[in-house]
Homo-oligomer: A and B are copies of this chain.
Amino acid sequence: MSSNKTDTRTRILDAAWNLLESSGGPAVRMGDIAKAAGISRQAVYLHFPTRADLLTATARHIDDAKGVDDRLAASRAATGGAERLDAFIEAWGNYIPEIHGVARALMAAADSDPAAAEAWADRMAALRQGCEAAVAALKKDGLLAPGLPPRQATDLLWTLLSVRNWEQLVGDAGWPQKRYVAAMKTTARRSLTTLAEPPT
């Protein structure tokens, strides 16, 4: 039956998720995940041909479980450009900690593995699209800072909201998550728009 197969597959994904969440990225080996899932290391390769495949599948698995699409859809629903920017930053910024374990592993793998690099690039492209849409909404409302082309505004917002920046502020600098989200909202407004402070 395929349900049995799916069960094991899911067990692997859950095991990977757990391990990546606790102990960081590249430290988690295929064998660790197998052991946590209660199967042999080789059995993992029956379901996921390479480490990169397993990591990307885990990322999607988390997406499904956490309902990213729904959350981001909510930000798309916002009417005005300002609200939309805030909602997008809120949704994405609060999503980062939930995928951070896999994200770290994927970024590390991307350094040496082209497949992992592409998988990560895809996710970053999706984020960039969200930024592009938010910037377009700002422009439509005439809120975009003068002299700042939408393309560059998108690039800036995309960079501001990168996982690495979250790591640096929340991880290295020790910021609480709430402050991170608030600061990203303020910084985005100040650097991209003609708006005042966001509502607290």
A187: contacting residue among B168, B169, B186, B191, CB under 8 A: B191
User: Within 8 Å of chain B (Cβ to Cβ): is A159?
Assistant: yes
CB-defined contacts of A108 to chain B, threshold 8 Å: 108, 111-112
A159 contacts B165, C-beta separation under 8 Å: yes
Interface size classification for chain A: 20 to 34
Please report the C-alpha to C-alpha distance between residue A57 and residue B112 in the assembled complex, in whole angstroms.
23
A25 within 8 A of B: yes
A26 in contact (CB, < 8 A): yes
Which residues of chain B are within 8 angstroms of A145 by Cβ–Cβ distance?
A: 190
Which of A12-20, A45-53, A150-158 sits within the interface? A150-158
Contact B168 A162 (CB under 8 A): yes
Asked if A173 is an interface residue, CB under 8 A from chain B, the answer is yes
**How distant is A51 from chain B, measured CB to nearest CB, in Å?**
14
Determine the distance from Cα of A111 to Cα of B116 in the docked complex, in whole angstroms. 16
Bound-complex Cα distance A1 to B179 (A): 58
Selected contact of A111 from candidates B25, B124, B162, B169, CB within 8 Å: B25
Residues 2-48 of A at the B interface (beta carbon under 8 Å): 25-27
Contact with B along A97-118 (1 / 0, CB 8 A): 0000000000010011000000
Residues of B near A124 (CB, < 8 A) are 172
Q: Is there a chain B Cβ closer than 8 Å to A61's Cβ? A: no
Is the Cβ of B168 less than 8 Å from the Cβ of A159?
yes
**Interchain CB contact under 8 A, B168 and A158:** yes
A164 at the interface (CB under 8 A from B): yes
Residues of A161-175 contacting chain B, CB below 8 A: 162, 164-165, 168-169, 172-173, 175
12 contacts between A and B (CB under 8 A): A27-B112, A108-B108, A108-B111, A152-B175, A156-B169, A156-B183, A159-B165, A159-B169, A164-B164, A164-B168, A165-B165, A186-B191
